[in-house]
Amino acid sequence: MEDQLLGRAGPTRWLRLLVRGAFVTVTGGALLAVVALVAMTIGPALLLQIDTPAFQAWRTVFVAITVQGLPFLLFGTLISAAISVFVPASLFDRLLPRKPALAVPVAGAAGMVLPGCECASVPVAGSLMRRGVTPAAALAFLLSAPAINPIVLVATSVAFPGNPEMVLARLIASLAVSMVMGWLWIALGRPEWLRIPKPAAGAGHGGQATASRAGRWEQFRQAVQHDFLHAGGFLVVGAMAAATFNIVVPQSALDAVSGSVWLSVLLLALLAVVLAVCSEADAFVAASLTGFSPTAKLAFMVVGPMVDVKLVALQAGTFGRAFAVRFSAVTFAVAVLCSALVGWWLL
Amino acid sequence: MRRRFEVLLLLLAGAAVLRISLFSELYLRYVKPGLRPLLIATGALLVLLGLVAAVREAIGYARGRRDAYQDAGHEEGHSPHAGHEWVHPPHAGHEEGHSEDAVHERGHAHSHGPRVGWLLYLPAVLLLLFAPPALGSYTASREAARAAQGAGTFPALPDTNPLPLTVREFSSRAVYDTGKSLKDRTVLLTGFVSPSDGGDEGTWYLSRLVVGCCAADAQVFKVEIHGATALDADTWVTVTGVWRPTGAPGSEAAEPALDASAVRKIHEPSNPYDDAAPAADGS
């Protein structure tokens, strides 16, 4: 691309481009500096008017969830772009059983190898579907990856010292939910609900001609940029919702309900949805919810990585709203049921 | 989102992440210390992505302008030496606007990135200009005092006097220790001031927030302080005092409480969520 450009352009053109670039950079930079200066002088005074302690805490929690999610989101988009661009589709054909019903458990168990939390798994599942992996298997992977990877299991065992059956229960219940959901998708899912994400390369500038000529690395870069900004925007939506619930629902308000066994399971499952704590940290939160039964804590840890406000926002952005709403609602029900059963059996 | 705003966003987001992780320890207000290398890598990668995108964008822009110029009926522009005329189309005057449109159509077909990405400007600008403070007394005063679980006896305490303890350890011993290891011990605790929730006059809480992963999962530990006037909320202090028993260990009435003999202001620690015991000399 550059060669072609150079071939046609004389040195004068490059000089002009350089001058123009320098001009844009300098004026743009100066403009930004002015905006920043004005914002920094007026901003605090303006904020003071609405700066209640609650709003302050909201801002901190909002920023915290975003900062916490960004590295994993970027990691997820890197993996997903790499799968889309560098991994041949035939690899997945060879690795996964041909029958979707058999591919589901294999993909679910494969969730063990993606070290990260739920922010990373959504783009990766999207790119798997793009690569022709059957949606049911990709969905099983989407659900299991953030719940059963080694980092999360180690965190769980640290949070519940001397209580290894909690780790086992989490592993079994999460795997069970992801497989049941994969099979349910085979049985009941309709393709029109699911919007399989289009390759991001088409979003590149320069139109068709460039896209076909551009190297793989350029495709990779464009895919990362597109997916990151896309998913990042939805991460912000989710972080706002989670921060709002975090400020509105004090933990102590829950202690009142902790008496009833079944109600408490449901309550902690709902709490996992609205708090949207990262799956690497939710075990510590669960352990801190004293007064709740182990089964209720298990439900919190099984539901959290699979359904929460941040994830619903991310899924709606990646797979479409019609899918995210149906899928999350059913997953929630299956997850509560599975954790109740596994809790009754093991805990 | 237009490409140029995407480039700016990538650069700003990268700079914001680097500002709180590489150039300061502000990230400790939001996430656990272990995330630092990941944050630095994320910030660096975002800046790199932004720079590469900027260069690509500049090249694409230049090409787009030239193509637009050629499309406007200057097919001879394909000859190797005509390219340099691109900024001087003969009818540059009133046709300029049209020419810009053509650039947009050709060079930027499909170039509108995800619109939801605009929202990322919010945390990026917030972090760059007004990094929010760590959670403090507001969060602490909304939760009841908690103590780590586990009734029973605890290992014996060292003989140091006064004895520095973490707020968490003091709380669990105060609430659950049937062996009453805290009895008559003078202890040193560090935390921030949070106001009493309207109970006894003249008491306040020495509070600590402990974070597992990010500030959203902060847990509250707090000790009720008797016999010292309360300082402003969110002031960091080291308190010297003696344990005040409130009820049988493990019972509802058992709450961590302390009769203070001295309260000293200290600087906010760089990691406000790390429940560390004060140094033995109280600093």
For the segment A100-155, what is each residue's pLDDT rounded down to a tens digit? 889 999 999 988 877 666 777 888 888 888 888 899 999 999 999 888 888 788 88
pLDDT at B208 over 80: yes
User: What is the pLDDT, as a whole number, of residue A116?
Assistant: 66
What 8-state DSSP symbol labels residue B83? G
Whole-number pLDDT of residue A9: 52
Mean per-residue pLDDT of chain B: 79
Give per-residue pLDDT as tens, A20-30.
878 878 888 88
B263 phi and psi, to 5 degrees?
-130, 125
pLDDT reported for residue B78: 45
Question: Can you give the pLDDT at residue A199?
Answer: 61
Q: Is residue B144 less than 8 Å (CB to CB) from chain A?
A: yes
**Peptide bond before residue B114 is cis, with ω within 30 degrees of 0:** no
Percent with pLDDT over 90 in chain A: 22
Query: CA A161: distance to chain centroid?
Result: 28
The yes-or-no verdict on residue B72 having pLDDT over 70 is no
pTM for this prediction: 0.74
What's the CA gap between A334 and B113, in Å, rounded? 36
Strand-strand pairing, B204-210 and B186-195: antiparallel
Query: What average pLDDT does chain A have?
Result: 81
Instruction: Return the residue in A67, A236, A279, A293 with the most chain B beta carbons within 10 A, the one to mutate for interface testing.
Output: A67
Contact B140, B195 (CB under 8 A): no
pLDDT, tens digit, for every residue of A184-218? Answer: 999 988 888 888 876 654 443 333 334 444 588 88
Question: Is residue A2 within 8 angstroms of chain B, CB to CB?
Answer: yes
- Is the minimum CB–CB distance between B199 and chain A shorter than 8 Å? no
ipTM over 0.90: no
First to last CA, chain B: 52
pLDDT digits (tens, 9 = 90+) for B39-67: 999 999 999 999 999 998 888 878 877 77
Q: Give yes or no for a contact between B245 and B253, defined as CB atoms under 8 angstroms apart.
A: no
Domains recognised in chain B with CATH numbers: 3-129 (no CATH), 137-265 (2.40.50)
- Position B160 scores a pLDDT of 83
Query: Residue B150 — very low, low, confident or very high, per pLDDT cuts 50/70/90?
Result: low
d(Cα A194, Cα A124) in Å, to the nearest integer? 16
Residues 5-34 of B with CB under 8 A from A: 6, 9-10, 13, 17, 20, 27, 29-31
pLDDT tier for residue B8 given thresholds of 50, 70 and 90: very high
pLDDT(A256) > 50 = yes
pLDDT surpassing 70 at residue A49: no
